Structure 1
Amino acid sequence: MKLFIYSTGLGLAIALNSLVFQDVTTAQMRLPHAAQKQAAKSVRFVRREVPPGRPPGGRYRGGGTRSIDSQMGCPAVTTPLIALVPFTENYLPGQEDKPPITHVWGYTTAAHPTLWFYVPYTNQSLSATFSLQNEDSSTEMYETSVSLPKQAGFIRVQVPETKLALQAGNRYRWFLGIDCTSANASASPSTRETIYVEGTILRDAVKPDLASQLASASPEQKVALYAENGFWHDALNTLAELRQQRPHDPALLQDWQRLLEGMGTSRVFKPKDIESKPFVN
């Protein structure tokens, strides 16, 4: 099932690939030695650039396949569907009033990663689908229905170990879509509306020195190690699990706020908009 709707189809956007990524700092493999000595080391995410090739494109903030203003069946929300993944937005010179060129991507060490989303919809009559494909969408790695939460908040989608493993050095496309016409049985195919987010996930091998540090690190130290080495999904998932275990720990909340800052900001989104939302699965 091919669900992806690429937002970089325009030749102009692809031509600007080198321009878009000139401002993204190449992450050096920094290993925080102090993280082994103190569990309370501050989390600092170092964003890694995407290898040469097709720009990742994507959408971090929920929008519609037809129009964000025609969300048939979806209730109005203050904060839309958000993918917890780093992104960049770049406006073309002289076209600051036009939609920006957006790229959404993150690295993982995991063969079967976990992705996190903020979902504002609780309508149980709506349906949601998560899909993971290889880069050219020729192979469906994983597809599943996603149950919407009983209250707005953070949800996880974990790729089962029984599914095809992500290979180190490769990139993959993920998609989370909410069918906003599920509650409207009379809607015709031409008026169906899907609110969706999508992006790229890249798997990279762990260097031996980092692997050695991770082997003896506490969960808190692992968050710092993953973050400083640019492994967004591993840092986020490890910290999310800690926060669910100790929801009232102020140090973990502060780390969560700092890590989410690594997503980036835009004219319509700042990480503080969602940092205090609850975990609902």
Structure 2
Amino acid sequence: MKLKNIQKIFSLSQSKFAIALLLALFSCTSYPLTLIAKSQQPTSSGNQPPQDGSSRGRPTQRGGAGSRGNCPSVEVPIVALTPEKTVSSVVEANPTFWVFVPYQLKDVPNGEFVLQDEANNDIYRASFSLPEIPGIVSFTLPSAIPLEVNKRYQWYFKVYCNQQKFDSAFVHEWVQRIALKSDLERQLKTTTTIRDRIQLYTQNGIWYSALTELAKLRLAEPKNATLDNEWASLMKNIDLENLSQKPLVGEVKIKQ
């Protein structure tokens, strides 16, 4: 065989080998590159409420959360007076929300109440200041912002421990306004005392309404031992008996 032909065969073999080597290298690296590309895709935060209307999976935070760097040290954190991990019911269009706040006004200059729908859209937002002393406070939704029947809402009660609002503590809960069944509505209309109405609310799981009615009675009669005992029983039903002796100090003051 002539030398020139041998060189051509050798050159062709080298080219085929180079192509085969490149294909092999590409096949080895393409799979990891695919995994890397997938790992960089954005993922869902998982904080959206489910679309099936159930309360399962809805995030709540009955006890204090947030960045509390400059907030004073306390034995009991901020706590919403609600059953834990559930969507609580109310019959009023403008319910009152109750929260235990362990901070004094001088330590917590600012607060904020936020009402949102299930899709995390703001419906109402208001700044407030706390009463002078720590205790159980309330926030009543204004008449211009009524809850719609059979809709679920989430609410936040936040307190800020500095003017810049960097450090905070908050609670986050869910509420649903329900329509009264005819027999319960009839019973409520025929009750002779507020305490009977509270009992009916409690028996039917209408927590916010029961709590508000009893809290108003206690504020009107702060030395009534019977009401104190009923309040302690109500707190025990939702595993908040440690708050039964905390003072009711009234509404927060909305800032204009």
**Same fold (TM > 0.5):** yes
Q: Give the conservation status (yes or no) of the 8 Å contact 1:56–1:199.
A: no
Out of 76, 80, 83, the residue aligned to residue 80 of structure 2 is 83
Out of 151, 169, 177, the residue aligned to residue 150 of structure 2 is 169
| Equivalent in the alignment of 2:238 | 263
Structure showing greater Rg: 2
What is the CA distance between 1:258 and its match in structure 2? 1.2
Structure 1 unaligned regions, length at least 5: 1-8, 16-49, 88-102, 265-270
Structure 2 unaligned regions, length at least 5: 1-44, 251-256
What is the CA distance between 1:53 and its match in structure 2? 5.7
Cα separation, 2, equivalents of 1:251 and 1:57: 36
Aligned residues: 204
Per-residue CA deviation, residues 209-252 of structure 1 (Å, 9 max, x unaligned), is: 11111112211111100000000000000000011111222221
Q: Give the conservation status (yes or no) of the 8 Å contact 1:135–1:173.
A: yes
1:235-246 matches, within 5 Å, as 235-246=210-221
Cα separation, 1, equivalents of 2:81 and 2:111: 17
Q: Secondary structure at the match of 1:214?
A: helix
1:197-276 matches, within 5 Å, as 197-217=171-191, 218-264=193-239, 271-276=240-245
Out of 134, 157, 162, the residue aligned to residue 152 of structure 1 is 134
| Equivalent in the alignment of 2:41 | none
Q: Secondary structure at the match of 1:206?
A: coil
| Equivalent in the alignment of 1:73 | 70
| Equivalent in the alignment of 2:101 | 119
Q: Secondary structure at the match of 1:202?
A: strand
What is the CA distance between 1:86 and its match in structure 2? 0.4
Q: Secondary structure at the match of 1:57?
A: coil
| Equivalent in the alignment of 1:55 | 57
Q: Secondary structure at the match of 2:195?
A: helix
**TM-score, L = length of structure 1:** 0.67
Q: Give the conservation status (yes or no) of the 8 Å contact 1:121–1:149.
A: no
1:93-108 matches, within 5 Å, as 103-108=85-90
What is the CA distance between 1:180 and its match in structure 2? 2.1
What is the CA distance between 1:123 and its match in structure 2? 3.3
What amino acid is aligned across from residue 261 of structure 1 in structure 2? K
| Equivalent in the alignment of 2:248 | 279
Q: Give the conservation status (yes or no) of the 8 Å contact 2:105–2:129.
A: no
Cα separation, 1, equivalents of 2:135 and 2:94: 23
Q: Aligned Cα RMSD in Å? A: 2.4
Q: Secondary structure at the match of 2:248?
A: coil
Query: Relative CO higher for 1 or 2, CA cutoff 8 Å, sep ≥ 6?
Result: 1
Cα separation, 2, equivalents of 1:195 and 1:280: 19
